[in-house]
């Protein structure tokens, strides 16, 4: 005899009160915290529980009794299906307010350390078309809404789609007609590739069968006008190679503004191409992005902050806090230029950005290719006081390494979302720099690390920076200074 799963209840006339992680909102019903997507504080809704644990639940709004007066009309036709810009129904001023609240909630709740007042969050001047990089997948299985499924019942489905992976369906692509994350060049390129492929009988990738020629594409734009377009193919025959090169020739002739036209043959069981050779069909194998008087060479595998203008704001904040910021009443107090360690340096953007104010900058990064980019970017800009090392941070940054290269006056750290390894934190504590500038894309793990540093360091500045409008993501910079001078 089968046991039927117990039906979860519907909660009626519930007013949404707060914003939570992952772009969801929340409400507390008695002792139960309920997380709900696609709603905003002030909405009054009926909630159908979809998952229930002891102290929290997840739910979907099945009926709206009242819309919040904070709501605005989403500007993208794909909103609510594409999961990329979950906060379009919130005015940007409200998005910034909630992001700053999330930063402070994380630091206070998790860090549990004494904190300075938070500076007002620095919003993005552009709230649309702000990205310099977008990636789209290709698939022969198409994610359709219920309405779209009814429309195609009487006619043939499209042969394939180019767009974003649909949530909960790893083998399906949501076809994107217009994306506002990048300027209109992304729409022209993506839609032309889709239309030409369908018209000329190119197959689209089937993730289950691992066949199909057209697999994905990446577009990068430079603030100097250069454009990179990379196509991922899955070429399994000479006929498919011929078709792939016909598409590349079409793109070369149709879009002469593309300065770096690249392709890669990816027959692996994942979409990453970091370990694969990238072929140049025409133009250069890179573009340049500019920041002040610096030029940064960016290849298809390079990491660079995807919001160019806000990256400059973020790095300016880091530089100001590293060298002394009058708003915080802090000054370097050193006659000599400082020795700076730039941890998780990536392609050396921050390291090169602060190098002219430093005696020397030592950058450490896990990815060897990124370190080669960092060295090349120093060379391109005539910067001679940087040194870069590749390897796992906890293995490279040791007491012996610091004895060899010198005790840092300043540590700038910009770790991944997981934060810093405990061994790295302990090494920093033993190195005892005058100050630490901690740049984070995850205030929760930043708060955890601040707690570990708290015995020796106190926070003097908190500066959130919004890099990704219409999403829940936020960067945060914290300045820490040593509590006691070295003997």
Which positions ≥6 away from 216 have C-beta within 8 Å?
135, 136, 137, 138, 205, 231, 232, 266, 271
CB contact set of 212 (below 8 Å; sequence gap of 6+): 138, 139, 140, 160, 203, 204, 205, 206, 234
446: phi then psi, degrees, rounded to nearest 5: -60, -45
Q: What is the DSSP string of 97-112?
A: HHHHHHHHHHIIIII-
CATH fourth-level superfamily of 1-71: Nucleic acid-binding proteins (2.40.50.140)
pLDDT above 90 (res 175):
yes
Q: What percent of the chain has pLDDT over 90?
A: 79
What pLDDT does residue 431 have? 94
Residue 366: how many CB atoms within 10 A of its CB? 16
Q: 74-88, 328-342, 359-373: which range is least confident on average?
A: 328-342
Report pLDDT for 445.
96
Rounded-to-integer distance, Cα 361 and Cα 352, Å:
8
94-127+303-482 carries CATH number 3.40.50.150: yes
Residue in the block written with tokens 């905003």: 40
* CA 170 distance to own-chain centroid: 20
pLDDT tens-digit map of 353-407: 999 999 999 999 988 888 999 999 999 999 999 999 999 999 999 999 999 999 9
pLDDT at 137: 95
Strand order across the beta sheet in which 260-265 lies: 169-175, 161-166, 133-139, 214-221, 227-233, 260-265, 279-283
Helix pair angle (443-453, 422-431), 10° resolution: 40
Q: What is the pLDDT of residue 53?
A: 87
For residues 225-241, one letter each, b for 16 or more C-beta atoms within 10 angstroms of the residue's C-beta and e for the rest, the string is ebbbbbbbbbbeeeebe
Task: Put residue 424 in one of left, alpha, beta given phi > 0 → left and psi -120 to 50 → alpha.
Answer: alpha
Long-range contacts, stretch 387-391, CB < 8 angstroms, 24+ apart: 387/360, 387/361, 387/362, 387/363, 388/345, 388/348, 388/351, 388/362, 388/363, 388/364, 389/362, 389/363, 389/364, 389/365, 390/364, 390/365, 390/366, 391/364, 391/366
Strands (DSSP E) found in 441-485 = 457-465, 475-482
> Has residue 138 got a pLDDT over 90?
yes
* pLDDT tens track for 432-481: 999 999 999 999 999 999 999 999 999 999 999 999 999 999 999 999 99
pLDDT digits over 283-305, tens only? 999 999 999 999 999 999 988 99
Which helix (H) or strand (E) element contains residue 199? helix 185-199
Rounded Cα–Cα distance for residues 91 and 71 (Å): 7
User: 133-291, what's its fold?
Assistant: OB fold (Dihydrolipoamide Acetyltransferase, E2P) (2.40.50)
**Cα–Cα distance for residue pair 174/144, rounded to 1 Å:** 7
- Rounded to 5 degrees, φ, ψ at 396 are -80, -50
Element (H, E) at 254: helix 238-254
pLDDT digits 0-9 by tens, 191-230: 999 999 999 999 999 999 999 999 999 999 999 999 999 9
User: What is the residue whose two structure tokens read 């989403």?
Assistant: 74
Q: Cα dihedral angle (197, 198, 202, 203), rounded to 10 degrees?
A: 120
Lowest mean pLDDT among 114-128, 163-177, 273-287, 459-473: 163-177
Percentage of residues in the chain having pLDDT higher than 70 = 94
What single-letter DSSP state applies at residue 357? G
Residues that are catalytic: 441
Phi, psi of 445 (to 5 degrees): -75, -30
Mean pLDDT of 132-141: 95
Across 238-259, average pLDDT: 98
Helices (H), 15-163: 92-106, 146-152
Q: Please give the Cα distance from 278 to 230 (Å, whole number).
A: 9
Token pair listed for 283? 């133009």
pTM exceeds 0.95 for this model: no
Nearest Cα residue to 393 out of 372, 411, 373:
411
Domain ranges of the chain: 1-71, 94-127+303-482, 133-291
Is residue 54 pLDDT above 90, yes or no? no
Give the chain's mean pLDDT: 91
Evaluate if residue 484 carries a pLDDT over 80. Answer: yes
Q: What six digits make up the tokens of 26?
A: 């929340």
HSE-up of residue 126 (Cα within 13 Å, Cβ side): 17
Q: Do domains 1-71 and 133-291 have the same CATH topology?
A: yes
pLDDT at 338 over 70: yes
pLDDT band with cut points at 50, 70 and 90 for residue 143: confident
Q: Partners of 410 in the beta sheet?
A: 340, 435
pLDDT of 329 higher than 60? no
């Amino acid at each position: 005899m089968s046991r039927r799963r117990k039906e979860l209840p519907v909660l009626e006339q519930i007013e949404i009160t707060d914003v939570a992680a992952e772009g969801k909102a929340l409400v507390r019903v008695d002792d139960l915290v309920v997380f709900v997507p696609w709603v905003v504080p002030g909405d009054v809704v009926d909630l159908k529980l979809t998952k229930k644990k002891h102290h929290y639940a997840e739910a979907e709004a099945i009926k709206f009794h009242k819309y919040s007066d904070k709501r605005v009309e989403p500007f993208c036709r794909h909103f609510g299906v594409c999961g990329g810009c979950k906060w379009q129904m919130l005015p940007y001023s409200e998005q910034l307010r909630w992001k700053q609240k999330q930063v402070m909630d994380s630091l206070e709740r998790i860090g549990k350390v004494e904190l300075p007042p938070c500076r007002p969050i620095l919003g993005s001047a552009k709230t649309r078309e702000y990205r310099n990089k977008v990636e789209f997948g290709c698939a022969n299985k198409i994610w359709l809404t219920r309405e779209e499924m009814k429309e195609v019942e009487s006619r043939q489905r499209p042969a394939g789609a180019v767009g974003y992976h649909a949530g909960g369906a790893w083998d399906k692509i949501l076809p994107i007609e217009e994306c506002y994350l990048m300027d209109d060049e992304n729409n022209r390129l993506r839609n032309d590739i889709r239309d030409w492929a369908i018209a000329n009988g190119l197959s689209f990738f089937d993730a289950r069968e691992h066949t199909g020629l057209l697999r994905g594409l990446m577009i990068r734009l430079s603030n100097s006008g250069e454009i990179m377009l990379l196509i991922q193919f899955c070429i399994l025959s000479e006929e498919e190679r011929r078709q792939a090169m016909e598409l590349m020739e079409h793109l070369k002739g149709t879009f002469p503004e593309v300065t770096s036209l690249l392709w890669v043959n990816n027959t692996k069981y994942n979409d990453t191409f970091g370990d694969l050779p990238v072929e140049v069909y025409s133009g250069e194998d890179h573009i340049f992005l500019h920041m002040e008087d610096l030029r940064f060479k960016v290849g298809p595998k390079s990491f660079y902050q995807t919001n160019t203008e806000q990256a400059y704001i973020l790095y300016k904040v880091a530089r100001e806090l590293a060298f002394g910021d009058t708003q915080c009443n802090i000054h370097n107090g050193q006659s000599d230029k400082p020795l700076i360690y730039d941890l998780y340096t990536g392609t050396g953007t921050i390291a090169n950005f602060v190098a002219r104010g430093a005696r020397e900058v030592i950058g450490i990064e896990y990815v060897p290719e990124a370190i080669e980019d960092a060295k090349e970017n120093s060379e391109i800009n005539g910067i001679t006081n940087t040194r870069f090392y590749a390897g796992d941070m906890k293995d490279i940054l040791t007491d012996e390494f610091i004895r060899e290269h010198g005790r840092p006056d300043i540590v700038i750290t910009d770790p991944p979302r997981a934060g810093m390894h405990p061994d790295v934190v302990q090494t920093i504590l033993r190195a005892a720099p005058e100050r630490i500038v901690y740049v984070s894309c995850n205030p929760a793990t930043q708060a955890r690390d601040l707690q570990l540093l708290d015995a020796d360091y106190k926070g003097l500045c908190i500066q959130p920076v919004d890099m990704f409008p219409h999403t829940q993501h936020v960067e945060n910079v914290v300045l820490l200074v040593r509590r006691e001078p070295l003997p």
